[in-house]
Amino acid sequence: MPQKAAIYARVSTPDQHVETQLYQLRELAARCGFEVVREYTDVGVSGSRARRPALDAMLADAHRGRFSIVLVAAFDRVARSVKHFLTVMDELNDLGIEFVSARENIDTSGPMGRMFVTIIGCIAELERSLIVERIKAGMRRRRLEGYRLGRVPLDVDRDAIVRDRLSGNSLTEVSKRHGVSRASVVRWVREARQRSAPVEQFQPMPVTVAAESMV
Determine the distance from the C-alpha atom of residue 134 to the mean position of all C-alpha atoms in its chain, rounded to a whole number: 22
| Active-site annotation holds for 12 | yes
Catalytic residue from among 12, 68, 81, 184: 12
Q: Known catalytic residues? A: 12
